[in-house]
């Protein structure tokens, strides 16, 4: 399995922000991720 560059705590925070209504683009911008990264597998 590939190692994640995020900790478990960071992943939980990102998912909870999305559940609170933030858009993927907002979350990506806050985490310094390219906006297209969320579609990569």
**Mind spelling out the 3-state secondary structure of the chain?**
CCCCCCCHHHHHHHHHHHHCCCCHHHHHHHCCCCCCHHHCC
Domain annotation covers residue 17? yes
Domain annotation covers residue 12? yes
Domain annotation covers residue 26? yes
**Which pLDDT does position 39 carry in this prediction?**
55
In the structure encoding, which two tokens stand for residue 22, read together? Answer: 């933030």
User: What are the residue ranges in the chain where pLDDT is below 50?
Assistant: 41
Domain annotation covers residue 1? no
Query: CA torsion 25→26→27→31, rounded to 10°?
Result: 100
Question: What is the share, in percent, of the chain residues with pLDDT greater than 90?
Answer: 24
Domain annotation covers residue 21? yes
Range of the domain at 33: 8-39
> How many domains is the chain partitioned into structurally?
1
**Which pLDDT does position 21 carry in this prediction?**
92
Domain annotation covers residue 3? no
**Which pLDDT does position 24 carry in this prediction?**
84
**Which pLDDT does position 19 carry in this prediction?**
92
Predicted structure pTM score:
0.63
**Which pLDDT does position 37 carry in this prediction?**
53
């Amino acid at each position: 399995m590939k190692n994640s560059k995020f900790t478990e705590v960071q992943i939980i925070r990102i998912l909870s922000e999305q559940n609170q209504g933030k858009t993927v683009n907002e979350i990506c911008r806050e985490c310094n991720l390219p906006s297209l990264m969320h579609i990569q597998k």
